[in-house]
């Protein structure tokens, strides 16, 4: 276990050895779970004459290697006084650094603004906003340098703390003190012949490679880059400003599908690693190979990683094929595949059943048709009380709440209507028959039976406007689309404005096939 030098112990709220130790017992906060990620052997991909391993950074609490640098940058800034209590933090990021920062800032109480190019995955935006961050999107055409410039301008204009992950030495230092020490410990007995990584900021590269060169000089450092964007391997220098930041895009930079890898410039930390002679081998990786190996890892190893993880392992396999027998090779796998659901990594994954799955489902139906029935006979429904009938009529006719929905608290189609009304600014009353208020003595079931008796419909939600049944979720969405819903609301004794939404059908659950507005007549219900 690595222990900090005496001058660094107690330098901040978290000491490095608390992150890397295999501790038991409660942690003081989520931040103490950062680091200590596992190394696992790859048994089913790559050639058999070498031993392949992967360090799975998805085991960090927010699912990526960038949790490490997020904590490092914030706590270093706290110690130096550069970050004041309550000050807003701003950073330019493709996503994972932002997610890590959102976790750290949420726990420590700092407002966070993330600047991100619009072409990065939608999952990242949602994760960031879910964690409380504000997300500012920049044009994809401006690439990484555009993100950086926007974040820099915001920091200057508002007095915010700008993390500057691409130049921040705390980034590489934390990797030297945690990631590198974990690797040295894990391979103390086994030995390590090659260490393979890509680069985003260059912090992992500089921090880990520096320690390996010092303590394991025989370990060869392999840097993987997209085959169409080999900016470090090109040897073409990066034009920089006096503060070390890139002055403009690198001339060899091209668009590539490996999100989080190789921005359109050489970060200072990555440049430092190259200038220090820490890189032994440059290994190009195609986008197609990155996607294929990510899928292979999932289906053959049970390892769920993103495109950058697939790219690193693809580079590792290429190195392994030429490596001497018995070599030990470690790949850095930076994050989880859940960040990539809206990217080409999942383009071939179907939402609906394919032919093989449909055949399996059909076989179950066929078996059910010939199997003897063991279902108990249904008991007759309890009688509907006058109280429930009166309640339904009273709610429907209530002039003070002319828009009312009968439904369930967590029914997806009920949430379709709720989300539409919220977006359109329509106040409404929701009678949730499965809520705690209606659960006692089956009051909710009584009200539901009274509703079905009153309307002749046996599904929910059921939406009424001014005492008139509009229908279920599909009918409400169709009426919102053709303008009749807004017209109904305008005709009320107390008119309600309906703010038009771009496409009402977008509010349906994602797994539902989008019905045509022209043919939408069947009620969507639970």
- CATH code, 242: 3.40.50.1100
CA nearest to 280, candidates 347, 353, 205, 190: 205
State residue 443's pLDDT score: 93
Identify the active-site residue in 94, 308, 327, 430: 308
Rounded CA separation 93/102 (Å): 12
Q: Is residue 19 in a domain?
A: no
Q: Is residue 142 in a domain?
A: yes
The structural domain count of the chain equals 3
Instruction: Pick the more confident residue, 370 or 280.
Output: 280
Rounded CA separation 411/508 (Å): 12
Query: Which helix (DSSP H) or strand (DSSP E) does residue 41 occupy?
Result: strand 39-42
Q: Using one digit for the tens of pLDDT, what is the confidence trace for 99-140?
A: 999 999 999 999 999 999 888 778 889 999 999 999 999 988
Rounded CA separation 14/19 (Å): 8
Q: Is residue 266 in a domain?
A: yes
User: Same domain, yes or no, for 182 and 156?
Assistant: no
Rounded CA separation 149/314 (Å): 33
Q: Which has the minimum average pLDDT: 67-71, 182-186, 331-335, 350-354?
A: 350-354
User: Same domain, yes or no, for 138 and 36?
Assistant: no
User: Same domain, yes or no, for 72 and 40?
Assistant: no
Per the prediction, the chain carries an average pLDDT of 90
Q: Using one digit for the tens of pLDDT, what is the confidence trace for 59-107?
A: 999 999 999 999 999 999 999 999 999 999 999 987 899 999 999 999 9
Domain span holding position 228: 29-61+176-346
**Is residue 66 annotated as part of the catalytic site, yes or no?**
yes
Tokens of 120: 């990065």
**Is residue 520 annotated as part of the catalytic site, yes or no?**
no
Identify the active-site residue in 55, 66, 206, 268: 66
DSSP state of 450: H
Question: Does the pLDDT of residue 309 top 70, yes or no?
Answer: yes
* Residue whose structure tokens are 């050639």: 47
User: Same domain, yes or no, for 213 and 319?
Assistant: yes
Q: Using one digit for the tens of pLDDT, what is the confidence trace for 408-428?
A: 998 999 999 999 999 999 999
User: Same domain, yes or no, for 130 and 238?
Assistant: no
Q: Is residue 475 in a domain?
A: yes
Q: Is residue 513 in a domain?
A: no
Q: Using one digit for the tens of pLDDT, what is the confidence trace for 487-523?
A: 999 999 999 999 999 999 999 987 775 544 433 333 4
């Amino acid at each position: 276990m690595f222990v900090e030098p005496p001058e660094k112990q107690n330098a901040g709220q978290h000491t490095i050895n608390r992150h890397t130790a295999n501790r038991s017992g409660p942690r003081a906060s989520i931040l103490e779970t950062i680091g200590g990620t596992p190394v696992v052997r790859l048994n089913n991909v790559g050639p058999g004459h070498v031993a392949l391993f992967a360090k799975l950074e998805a085991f960090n609490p927010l699912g990526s290697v960038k949790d490490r640098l997020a904590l490092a940058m914030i706590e270093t800034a706290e110690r130096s006084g550069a970050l004041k209590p309550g000050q807003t933090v701003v950073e330019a990021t493709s996503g994972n650094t932002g997610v890590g920062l959102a976790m750290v800032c949420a726990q420590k109480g700092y407002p966070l603004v993330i600047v991100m190019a619009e072409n990065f995955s939608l999952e990242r935006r949602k994760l960031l906003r879910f964690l409380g961050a504000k997300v500012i999107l920049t044009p994809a055409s401006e690439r990484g340098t555009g993100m950086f410039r926007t974040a820099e301008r915001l920091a200057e204009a508002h007095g915010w703390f700008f993390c500057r992950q691409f130049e921040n030495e705390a980034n590489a230092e934390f990797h030297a003190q945690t990631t590198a020490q974990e690797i040295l410990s894990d391979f103390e007995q086994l030995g390590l012949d090659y260490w393979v990584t890509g680069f985003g900021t260059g912090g992992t590269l500089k921090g880990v490679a520096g320690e390996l060169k010092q303590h394991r000089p025989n370990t060869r450092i392999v840097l993987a880059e997209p085959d169409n964007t080999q900016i470090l391997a090109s040897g073409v220098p990066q034009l920089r400003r006096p503060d070390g930041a890139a002055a403009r895009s690198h001339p060899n930079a091209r668009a590539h599908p490996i999100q989080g890898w190789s921005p359109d410039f050489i970060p200072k930390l990555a440049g430092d690693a190259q200038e220090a002679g820490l890189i032994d081998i440059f290994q190009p990786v195609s986008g197609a190979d990155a996607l294929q190996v990510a899928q292979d890892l999932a289906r053959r190893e049970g390892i769920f990683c993103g495109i950058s993880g697939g790219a690193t392992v693809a580079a590792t396999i290429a190195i392994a094929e030429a490596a001497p027998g018995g070599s030990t090779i470690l790949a850095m796998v930076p994050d989880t595949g859940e960040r990539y659901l809206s990217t080409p990594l999942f383009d071939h994954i179907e939402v609906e059943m394919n032919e093989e799955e449909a055949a399996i489902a059909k076989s179950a139906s066929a078996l059910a048709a010939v199997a003897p029935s063991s279902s108990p006979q249904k008991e007759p429904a309890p009688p509907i009380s006058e109280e429930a009938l009166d309640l339904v009529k009273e709610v429907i006719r209530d002039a003070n709440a002319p828009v009312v929905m009968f439904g369930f608290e967590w029914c997806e189609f009920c949430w379709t209507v709720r989300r539409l009304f919220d977006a359109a600014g329509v106040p409404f009353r929701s009678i949730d028959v499965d809520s705690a208020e209606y659960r006692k003595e089956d009051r909710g079931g009584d009200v539901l039976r009274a509703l079905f008796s009153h309307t002749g419909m046996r599904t929910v939600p059921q939406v009424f406007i001014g005492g008139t049944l509009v229908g279920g979720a599909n009918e409400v969405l169709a009426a919102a689309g053709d303008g009749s819903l807004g017209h109904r609301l305008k005709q009320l004794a107390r008119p309600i404005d309906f703010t038009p939404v771009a496409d009402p059908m977008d509010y349906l659950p994602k797994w539902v096939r989008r019905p045509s507005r022209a043919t939408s007549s069947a009620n969507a219900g639970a």
